[in-house]
Structure 1
Amino acid sequence: MGDMQPQLAIFRSSLELILSGDPAGLFNAANDLQQISKSEAIEILYLLAIEHREEEALLNYGYFLCERGRPDEGIVYFEKAYASGDPKAAFALGQEQLEMGNPLEAIKWLRIAGEHPYVPLRLAIAYRAVGDEMSAVEVLRAGSEQSAEAAVELIQTTDQLDTDSSIRLLEKHLENGDVDVLLPLADLYSKVGRHADGIELLRRSVAAGEPHALHNLGVALWEDGQTSEGKATLKKAAQKGDRLAVEKLHQIRRNKP
């Protein structure tokens, strides 16, 4: 944090009293918290946790810094977490390097992260950022059985699987509780004429709070001949600010006999 502001130093002293077993620190900390922001208090707490070698404090402080627009500092603490043996640190480094626009560094760390379930998609994105489509597809194929998001990316951005194989793969993930596959699986059902199954998945997607699920459900109902419910569903989506639903309603009005 650099040179600590007086109020923050006072809060830290109060916390140190608490750690020493002096209950006066509780009273002092209550007063101190009225003088500093929540973010400042959290940062002091993380730094004290790091000093006391609390497990995962380095990693979580790194995430805290990144979320507050201080990624360079966050990277430093991710590296410290990795050096301390935290198994989650390599993924954190890879993900943050990718977000910072450093795909080669991202590839290095994501490969080290290994079997982390969110690695395949991000590693594929990094490979594509450096123009290595072959490696991206290989990573997605290898990870598609364990990672739902990798399976969806493989299906939507490559021609590696035919429609039936794609359906079977996403059905497997759905059976394992991965609701992220609801919308793409519903789309595949629609393509093979399984409209009722697709509509059922879209209803589940709406219940799960998926973005654009209301729009997709409204369109599916309309195209299935359930026009009243379809239009009503599109109106609900439009009221929630879904521009696609607004456009679909305009199209319906234009085509009305």
Structure 2
Amino acid sequence: MSLAVVLAQVVRARGDRAEAARLYRLAAEAGEAAASNDLGVMAAEDGDLTAAEAHYRRAVDAGVGPATHNLAVLVWERGDPEQAESLFRRAADAGSALSMNELGVLLSDRGAHDEAEVQFRRAAGLDNPQAANNLGRLIEERAPQEAEQLYRTALRHHSAEARYNLAELLARQGRHPESEKLHRQGAAAGDPLAMNCLGLLHAGRGDYAGAARWYERAIAGGNINSLYNFGLVRGKQGRAAEEELYRRAIEAGQPNALNALAVVLDERGAKEEAERLYRDAITAGITDGLCNLAMLLQEDGRIDEATRFYRRAVEAGDAKAMNNLGLLSFDQGDPDAAETLFRSGLAAGNESAAVNLLLLLTGRLNPDTPE
């Protein structure tokens, strides 16, 4: 390593980026190829991806291993996964655990899970904590015990993501005290995901004030799901602030808030905006909006359209929609269809469907408004 590179590292650490870049350029011009990689890193940090790519390619051509990985990341983020995969493979074959892990992520994203597992295992074997965490996520469903050990391995390297994944795995296994302990450790370390989970825990216990405190901290940390969850808590507390929170969540891109705000507006009588939000929620994939929109349409007398949305909700497994469409079918003179729907609703756990099925079978059913 030349004196120019050593000095560049020192002044860069002190925050003098212009001088560091000048020294790296001197080193690169003097034939020190690794300095071109450093220039690429600095250019990327400054947002000049064209210059970064040029520097990386010069370093790659000169055989600088880290530059191959850095170039792969750049072209992947630019939207060229095929070139990125080729570069990641090249760097991985040269022994880069970072590239093995990123190659695993790329392969997993496109559904090549078996090959992704191979790459994650290679990287995890080289003590890469990200790979251990990613491997855990990949195999968790079929091998929860191994996934747990992988998360714990990554956690020993202070992986916040592994701590969160381990806590959630333990919660799904009913090991709630240890799960909560991990989330509290995460929250203490500033993890907004953990704060949101603690909010959910407190809300589940009926401690809405405690939940609100955690949601407020998570929101301050940038967790958009907490905006939606905080809105739910405010609604349970009878606080008007829920509407503002749902609107903020929508602006931040939280799709469940579309349906939640629509429900608030629907109950308040703002039907036109509620309908628009239900439709937006459905477009965003929120299936709860199907039944809610159908109820609004039925109330407005648009029976044919309401029926279509009820059917879509039934296909999505909505037990409430099964009951409501059963009532609608009975009202339209089709008791057989009503019975089928009530039985489906009963099997899905809807109490109203159970009651209506009994009334239908005993000849005492009178159609009513949806529940």
Q: Please give the TM-score of this superposition, normalised by the length of structure 1.
A: 0.71
Assess if the C-alpha contact under 8 Å between 1:171 and 1:185 holds in 2: yes
Taking a change above 3 Å as real, the CA distance of residues 238 and 158 of structure 1, as seen in their structure-2 partners, is same
Instruction: Report the alpha carbon displacement of residue 159 of structure 1 after superposing the two structures with TM.
Output: 5.8
CA contact (8 A) 1:195 1:224 kept: no
Offset at 1:107?
1.8
Pairing of 1:37-56 with structure 2 (within 5 A): 42-54=20-32, 56=34
Taking the aligned partners of 2:134 and 2:222, their CA distance within structure 1 comes to 26
RMSD between superposed Cα atoms in Å: 3.1
Cα distance in 2 for partners of 1:71, 1:214 equals 35
Q: Note closer, same or farther for the CA distance 1:227–1:129 as it changes in structure 2 (3 Å cut).
A: closer
Give the aligned residue type for 2:155. L
Report the alpha carbon displacement of residue 88 of structure 1 after superposing the two structures with TM: 1.5
Alpha-carbon distance in 1 for matches of 2:194, 2:228 = 15
Give the partner amino acid of 1:244: N
Moved more, 222-231 or 177-186: 222-231
Structure 2 match to 1:254? 235
Aligned to 1:58: 36
Contact preservation (8 Å) 1:65, 1:74: yes
Q: Compute the displacement of 1:128 (Å).
A: 5.0
Q: Distance in 2 between matches of 1:231 and 1:64?
A: 41
Question: Secondary structure of 2:97's match?
Answer: coil
- Structure label with greater radius of gyration: 2
1:215 corresponds, among 196, 199, 213, to: 196
List runs of 5+ in structure 2 lacking aligned partners. Answer: 5-15, 239-371
The answer as to 2:161 corresponding to 1:183 is: no
Secondary structure, aligned partner of 2:119: helix
- The answer to whether residue 59 in structure 2 is matched with residue 81 in structure 1 is yes
What amino acid does structure 2 have at the position aligned with 1:152? Answer: N
- Aligned partners of 2:40, 2:219: CA distance in 1, in Å? 39
Matching residue of 1:9: none
Pairs aligned (count): 221
Identity over aligned residues, as a percent? 22
Is this contact kept in 1: 2:192–2:222, CA < 8 A? no
Relative CO higher for 1 or 2, CA cutoff 8 Å, sep ≥ 6? 1
1:99 aligns with 2:77: yes
Distance in structure 2 (CA, Å) of the matches to 1:226 and 1:144: 40
Which residue does 2:148 correspond to in 1? 167
Q: TM-score, normalised by structure 2?
A: 0.51
SS for the counterpart of 1:198 is helix
Long gaps (5+) in structure 1: 1-18, 20-37
Q: Measure how far apart 1:92 and its partner are.
A: 1.4
Q: Which residue, 34, 48, 54 being the options, matches 1:70?
A: 48
Alignment partners' CA distance in 1, 2:31 and 2:190: 39
